[in-house]
Structures are given as C-alpha cells and as structure tokens.
Amino acid sequence: MSPWFDQVRVVLVRSRNPLNIGAAARAMSNFGIQKLRLVTPWEPSYLGARAAVGASDVLLNSEVYGSVAEAVADCGLVVGTSAVGERELQHPLKVLEEGANEMRRALAVAPAALLFGSEKFGLSNEDLSHCHWLMRIPTRDAHISMNLGQAVAVCLYELVRSGAQIPMRDAPAMAGAAEVERLTQVLFQALRESGYVESVAEEAAMEKTRRMLRRLDLQGNDAVALTGMMRQILWKFRHPEKPE
Amino acid sequence: MSPWFDQVRVVLVRSRNPLNIGAAARAMSNFGIQKLRLVTPWEPSYLGARAAVGASDVLLNSEVYGSVAEAVADCGLVVGTSAVGERELQHPLKVLEEGANEMRRALAVAPAALLFGSEKFGLSNEDLSHCHWLMRIPTRDAHISMNLGQAVAVCLYELVRSGAQIPMRDAPAMAGAAEVERLTQVLFQALRESGYVESVAEEAAMEKTRRMLRRLDLQGNDAVALTGMMRQILWKFRHPEKPE
C-alpha cells in the first residue's frame, strides 16, 4: 500500500442509512483506505452500523464531526461528489478518472477529503462551498444517481487503481482547509461589517466567498497573511473613533 | 450509449440478499447495462427485490434461469468474478482493468456474460467451469472480498469507463456458449462410455473438460464439427455389434 492511502479522508455528510454507512466502510477497507469521517450522521443509524456483525475496523475507528469545516480541517484539497443536473453548478466539475488523477497528485503532498452527501439530497450548497471542485461518476443521463455505498466503492477503486506507486513528496506549504476557513470567516465578517453583504443574501454570499477563496489555492503563509490583513480591517471597523 | 452495451449479460448465481440484487440492478441501470440474469436465486429474495419501491427496469426485465449453462447460452465469452485466495484457481486470472479491456473487444463481436457468485460462497467450481477466464477487482489482500452490489458497480464502471466509443464489428463465427456446452456434454459422455472417466471422479472430470473446451476459443463451425465427431464416437460405443 502506498503511503498516500493514509492521506485520504472519506467524509459522509448526513448519512441516514446504516447499510450505506457500513457499505462505504467496507469498500474503504477493500481498497485500503482507513480514515472515515461522518458529519452529523443520523445517530441511530451510525450506532446501528457500528454495532452490526462484521463491522469493519474502518467503521469502528471512524470519527464524527459537527460540521464539514471541522471534518476537512486538516485537508489541503476538498473534493465533492455530485450527481450533476440537480442544481446549477458553481464549481469546476471533473469526470472521475481525471479527478482521481488530480486527487492523487494532491495526496502526495497533503491530506485530501472526498465528500459524499446524504442519500436523499446529496451535498447542500453550504457543503459544496467547502469544496475546491466536484467530481462525477460517468453514469448515464437517464439514471444518474448512484447508491451511496456503490458510489464510494467506484470512486475509491478509481483512486487506488493506478496510483499505488505514487511516492510522497515533501509538502510545499499549501494552506490547509482550516486555515482557509479561518480566512473565509474573517473576510466574511469584514464584508458584512463593511456593508458589502446585504443581510438578506447572507447565506449565498458566504458560500460564494468560500468558493472563491478555495479557487485561489493559497499557500499557507499567504493564507495567514491575508487573515491578518482582514483582522486588521475588522479591527478598524470596530474602532472608527480612534484613527491612528 | 455504444451498441455493445446491449451485449453484456450480468449473471447473478444463487444470490440470496434482495438488497444486493436490487443494488446490482441499480448499478447496471446507472451504467447503461440492461440484461440481468439470475441463476436459481433464492425466490423470496428475488420476488422481494422486484417488489421493492424504486425497483429499476433492469430488475423488472430480468430473467431467471435454472442453470449457468442456460443463462450464458447465447454468449461468446463467459467471465467469472472471483475473490481469489479462497481456492486453487484453474483458470487464467486477469485484473479488472485488463479483463474489462478484453471483454470490450469480445463484446464487439458477440454477447458476453459476467458472472457473480453468491454472497457467502462465491462461484462454485461447477459455475467456474463455464467460464473462459476469471477477473479480479484489485482489493487488498487483508480484505479481498467485496459486497456483491459494490463489486457489480465497480466492474461495470471499469467496463463502461473508457469503452463507450468502441464500434461493433461484423461477428466472426465464434462458437456460442450453448454450442460449446453441447460439445462438452457429448465429449464427456464419450469419455464416460470409453472408460476414460472413473465414476468416482465424475464431477471433477466434467469441470476439467468444460474448462479445457473453453480455453480452445472454438469457432462456431469447429464446435459443430467436433460435436458431430463425438456423436459419431458415442454412436459407435453403443453399436459395437455392427462394425461397418
């Protein structure tokens, strides 16, 4: 097994069906991917899947998070899976084969997350705003939406298939998702306080901001520097009475 | 969709779990493969899967057969899927990517079947003896065996992934599985009546014979000719009293 296998995080967002959670974990185990993270799963379902006979180590070692931001905090790349057509896409979309290729390159330098949405609704716009780009399994137009466990199996197969030999590289200092999210929050606060963001459209503006910052592919030091600038701007908003 | 998609037969042998049958049908529908055949499925399970809400057209149009031989009768190529390691293999084994490539080439000239065994026991030696070769999904050694629905999804993804553009070719007259099986039966009868086959080891000898004949990749006319020869030999066994 290649060392980058350990850098993959499979993130299931709001999964409801214990069979799907178990199936996702089993496919991960089949393909040698260990790190399963669940964002606000339906609790009886998650506990049921863990309690099932034959639950894999992957499932027993899985972690639960309260938000997508926390679940991907250590990742340099966040990829969403999508059965396109359901909504207007505001992200670059790659077919699985090409996307897996790009993920492998990213995994050689930092952890990367692969997000799967709930069985019924997929990933929300808020979930997607945490993603750098989206990936789609090439199913046929007339029946585009795959079962969750099967989608996980197919994606991991493609990711692992031809990539077992990729060596790890020294990590260049790219910004992790937590850093970018920190910047997103402070920039957004600044936009709000500056009046740039109207309160009515706040949610959409936040998602737009989040997507934009992820498109930048910031280096770590740049993210820190930008965050510092935004903090300063914020400070200024709050202390208008004391010009320096 | 490429015309050869219609040449693929997915054959589930002795499936017991309605969820797996439904999942296999769903993956087929996702990837545009229509012909599902079941060999002696556990009946309540099959009926249950068909009755399920959201059962796909693939499942509703599926056909049930009493034996592998009947289920693959129209196929020029029969490929078994196997989680190797469980038994000594007496077939050539190809990794999924290579196997899918070869299947696509065969599908351009004649129907081909992809066999999946039962959840618990996989394909039996008798099932395997109908196969030309075996295919394996590259799972890791420590957890080799995949869930049935996921295995179907991964195999069909790989089969369809890069092959959508392959044109159909004029079929050269390769022998279909029914023809080869006819030859197998008559050759075996001849072997039995000749005393070549001991009655104790009959089943193993039958499987060995079946495998051998499939390795030959017979053209249709050759299969017919060989069958005729064997019939003549059989006739001779039965009419020793009348030398010509």
pLDDT tens digits, one per residue of B94-146: 999 999 999 999 998 889 999 999 988 889 989 999 998 999 999 988 888 89
B 90-119 near A (Cβ less than 8 A): 97
Q: What is the pLDDT of residue B173?
A: 67
Q: How far apart are CA B110 and CA B176, in angstroms?
A: 8
Contact B153, B50 (CB under 8 A): no
Q: How far is B215 from chain A (nearest CA, A)?
A: 28
Q: How far is B97 from chain A (nearest CA, A)?
A: 8
In the block, residue with structure tokens 């709001």:
A14
- Range with top average pLDDT, A187-191, A225-229, B25-29: B25-29
Q: Is B155 on the interface with A (CB under 8 A)?
A: no
Q: A150–B146: do the CB atoms touch at under 8 Å?
A: no
Percent of chain A exceeding pLDDT 70 equals: 89
Q: How far apart are CA A205 and CA A211, in angstroms?
A: 10
User: Quick one: chain A helix, strand, coil %, rounded to 5?
Assistant: 50, 15, 35
pLDDT tens across B13-43, in order? 999 888 899 999 999 999 999 999 999 998 8
In the block, residue with structure tokens 């059962």:
B55
pLDDT category of residue A96 using cuts at 50, 70 and 90:
very high
Q: What is the pLDDT of residue A170?
A: 55
Contacts of B31 in chain A (CB under 8 A): 139-140
Residue A121 has pLDDT above 80, yes or no: yes
User: Exposed, middle or buried, A120 (CB in 10 Å: 0-12/13-18/19+)?
Assistant: exposed
Q: B30–A160: do the CB atoms touch at under 8 Å?
A: no
pLDDT mean over A26-35: 94
pLDDT mean over A78-83: 90
- How much is the ipTM here? 0.74
Mean pLDDT score across all residues of chain A: 84
Q: How far apart are CA B46 and CA B116, in angstroms?
A: 15
Contact A52, A82 (CB under 8 A): no
Pairwise pLDDT comparison (A222 vs A129), residue with the higher score: A129
Q: B160–A150: do the CB atoms touch at under 8 Å?
A: no
Please give the residue of chain A at the shortest CA–CA distance from B96: A161
B 24-53 near A (Cβ less than 8 A): 26-27, 29-32
Residue A2 has pLDDT above 70, yes or no: no
pLDDT tens across B137-193, in order? 999 888 888 999 999 999 999 999 876 555 555 555 677 888 888 888 888 877 777
Please give the residue of chain B at the shortest CA–CA distance from A148: B150
